[in-house]
Structure 1
Amino acid sequence: MAGLQEAAASPVVVVVNPNNPDGRVVAPEDLLDLAARQAARGGLLVVDEAFGDERPELSLTSRLGPGLVVLRSFGKFFGLAGIRLGFAVAEEGLAARLTDHLGPWPVSGPAIELGAQALADRVWTEATITRLRDAAARLGDILTRTGLEDLGGTFLFRLARHHQAPALYERLGRAGILVRAFAFRPDILRFGLPGSEADEQRLRATLAG
């Protein structure tokens, strides 16, 4: 919360919730409080929920107020990055101002239809949250059992630390396993979820060396 207090001095504050790459979460109540304070001083809080579909209890889309804009994406949880679809949610007046500033920004009919169907399919969403949660837990177990420190993440990825992370990155790459490295923190790697049980076994074997 200390970071939010410092950020509140800015006219526009952007919070990614859950955060990428560490999965850090800010409580909705804290964000709503910050949005109210931003609105009182003519500022704005932008909450990016690109990784929020797996944690619906964190979403502010149904709790809108002055000074708050929520961004959503279909490229992560729904796996629909190719349709290039996302949206902003805000109170009517603020949404109208955003529309005026953006100007014409057409979205294809098929993309809108796919997005609407994806959001409406609650059965698929609930089943997918369960599947991803279990897969993330298995990934975390693989990482810790092969000597990495699990630093957190979401149901879509895990962040891990290892004192030989650059060497692990090279070893994984040679095995056809792509992970994300960070130039500003060479001791950490971000792992996406393996796609199958066979991929989990291959990751475990490669990390074990």
Structure 2
Amino acid sequence: MDARHDPAPASAASRPRHGGELDAARARFPQAPEPWIDLSTGINPRPYPFDAGTLGEERWTRLPERAAIDRLEATAARAYGVAPHGRVVAASGTQPLIAALPALFPARRVAILGFGYQEHPARWHAAGAQVRIVEEVEALCAQDIDLAVVVNPNNPDGRLVEPGDLATVAARLAARDGALVVDEAFMDVVAPSRSLIPALPPRTIILRSFGKAYGLAGLRLSFAVSEPDLAGRLRAALGPWPVSGPALAIGTQALADAGWLVRTRAQLDHDAARLDGLLRATGFQPLGGTSLFRLAAAPDAAHSFERLARAGILVRSFPERPHWLRFGLPGDDAAWRRLEAALAG
């Protein structure tokens, strides 16, 4: 069993780094050409073409009605294949859900599967929990673990854990009042059969992000799926207006449009394969990812990051993994040409 304790952040001011920080990139590389191409996030560059006519004035001027929230959550339940005994809770992005988990599960010993999205260990550290990073799924079931966290597919390497294996972990933890959190932020671009939601084991919360696959990250919309009791407690923690009026309208419209998502998956798969080919041709070693981002390694990754930034292209670097860079998908032919030229040097 390979496990290690993840040290707490050095100070309260410490925070995980994320993609999308263009202001910092512009300050660091003031001579870079505009407009910047932001490939540092895993967001679909072709957003869902929502009907602006659904955003009447009252979406902005009135508080969201409970009935509209119920419609959105019911639409999400159908889109995600939620089991009959499950409940869906809408929120303004995944971050409030992650922040609410330590109060919902006062776990003292938390296991997280592998290197991934750093907000999970940061939040549990902030709650005073002992955080252990493990490399094998079986290690999540150790007797001294109160709660396990799995990002599935993982960010940034795209590792996928089969739903049957996750159900086994959930059952073992639930047998001693433990809990499982599965962050499926990027599951929309993967085959629906890989999601744990239709099985929905006991004492499990599954998180889903809307903005990534639908290219509308600024909308700030996400969902948690769990048993009715846990879902009710989470809904109470979020308060009476967890989602904005525009997010309710756009999210309900988009999640009901199953055909758009099927077509989008095919396009993203094509673009991800194209990006892998470009990276190989310019000296990178593709390591995985999802169809919204590709992880690659290079001995001179730090130099490549700076060379791309000087060309006005922002990618994601990882201080913890200095040989890694993560690339999002270019959104149009001009962006592809700029990336190819910058990679070719």
**What CA RMSD, in Å, does the superposition of the two structures yield over aligned residues?**
1.6
Which residue of structure 2 lines up, in the alignment, with residue 115 of structure 1? Answer: 251
Residue in structure 2 matched with residue 175 of structure 1 by the alignment: 311
Q: Which of 172, 175, 182 is the matching residue for 1:40?
A: 175
Displacement of 1:192 after TM fit? 0.5
Q: 2:152 aligns with which of 13, 17, 39?
A: 17
SS in 2 for 1:160: strand
Give yes or no for contact 2:140–2:169 (8 Å, CA) kept in 1: no
Matches within 5 A, 1:98-113: 98-113=234-249
Inter-partner Cα distance in structure 1 for 2:241 and 2:146: 25
**Equivalent position amino acid for 2:187 in 1:** G
Cα distance in 2 between the residues matched to 1:168 and 1:80: 29
* 1:64 corresponds to which of 192, 196, 200: 200
How far is 1:59 from its partner?
1.4
Unaligned runs of 5+ residues in structure 1 are none
* Length-normalised TM-score, structure 2: 0.58
AA matched with 1:188: W
Partner of 2:189: 54
Matched, 1:140 2:276: yes
Which protein shows a greater Rg?
2
> C-alpha distance in 1, partners of 2:277/2:317?
20
What is the TM-score with the length of structure 1 in the denominator? 0.94
Amino acid at match of 1:67: R
Say yes or no: does 1:95 pair with 2:228. Answer: no
Instruction: Kindly provide the amino acid, as one letter, of the partner of residue 73 in structure 1.
Output: S
Whether contact under 8 Å (2:207, 2:222) holds in the other structure is: yes
Consecutive aligned runs of 4 or more in structure 1 exceeding 3 Å deviation: 100-105
Query: Counterpart in 1 of 2:213?
Result: 77
User: What is the CA–CA distance in structure 2 between the aligned matches of 1:65 and 1:161, rounded to whole Å?
Assistant: 36
Quick one: distance in 2 between partners of 1:128 and 1:47?
Answer: 24
Listed as ranges, the gaps of 5+ residues in structure 2 are 1-112, 114-134
| Residues matched between the structures, number | 209
Q: Cα offset for 1:190?
A: 0.4
Q: 1:31 aligns to what?
A: 166
Q: What's the counterpart of residue 184 of structure 1?
A: 320
Identity of aligned residues (%): 57
Aligned residue number for residue 138 of structure 2: 5
